[in-house]
Amino acid sequence: MQSAEGTTAEHTAAKGRPTPKRREAENRRRGPVAPPPRTQREAIKRMRGNKQSKEERRKAAAERRERMMAGDDRYLMPRDRGPVRAHVRDIVDSRRHLMGLFMPLVLIVFATTLVQNIVVQQYATLATLVLLLTMLFEGFVLGRVVNRRVRAKYPDAKDRPLSIGWYAFTRAMQIRKLRVPRPRVTPRDAAKVG
């Protein structure tokens, strides 16, 4: 092979071994496999041991979920961690929002579209549009309010305003009982959240 100046370029040396098959590479990653049990008694012991560890795993997962629902920062998902996000959650949870009713109302509207009456279907379509516009308007206003209050309390926060607004919007969209982590404040505590 010649380069532009007319000199020949050298090929790189081969790695000296064939590329491993996918199965071989996956097995190497998984590590050693325990030898098969020699007796039925040994097989039963292994099964019981695994069952016990399954129960332990289940208990550990339930404990992690409970701590996450309680709002422990170590167990929250990365998007929910930090004092800024906790403050946003408190602001959103301190008020009732129409956005939280959007999904149940859309299901009702969808059920009315199944009615064979055209007038009912037209009103259902109009109701869906009104619900959507109301949800978007309320989400926009909520995002602005939350951003203003977060910037007042945490002026050095590194979260982008759009990110904070979107977090507040998605939190308000969820039905209150299904929010993760659980709300720490009630709608009557609006004055306490600053």
One-letter amino acid at 2 equals Q
Interhelix angle for 83-93 vs 118-153, to 10°?
130
What are the pLDDT digits (tens) for 81-110? Answer: 999 999 999 999 999 999 988 888 888 888
What are the pLDDT digits (tens) for 129-171? Answer: 999 999 999 999 999 999 999 999 999 999 999 999 999 999 9
Please state, for a pLDDT cut of 90, what percent of the chain lies above it: 52
Cis omega (within 30 of 0) on the bond before 83?
A: no
pTM for this prediction:
0.69
- DSSP letter string over 129-187? HHHHHHHHHHHHHHHHHHHHHHHHH-TT--S-HHHHHHHHHHHHHS-GGG-SSPPSS-G
